[in-house]
Structure 1
């Protein structure tokens, strides 16, 4: 079994996010998707995140 992992902010999930996840899933049998925490996003300079972590999950 091939496991693939990816992560992102996924704020306001859109078609580009969906395509990214579809392409990642095509690389293996099992896809793990991480969603970044607000503190991680802020440390990277993403100060305009519109959805809460729970909404993005």
Structure 2
């Protein structure tokens, strides 16, 4: 699993352009009844030749 993550990281980070986002997600922890707010960090590779 660690090797797969390293290969994906290298592929994504080799891009000329990256887009990042950190959207929120409601989460309920095991054994709790209240919701907490979590974040998911994303990095997306952009290989398009034209950007607008």
So what's the TM-score if we normalise by structure 1?
Answer: 0.26
User: Which protein is richer in strand relative to its size?
Assistant: 2
Q: Which has the higher contact order (CA 8 A, sep 6+)?
A: 1
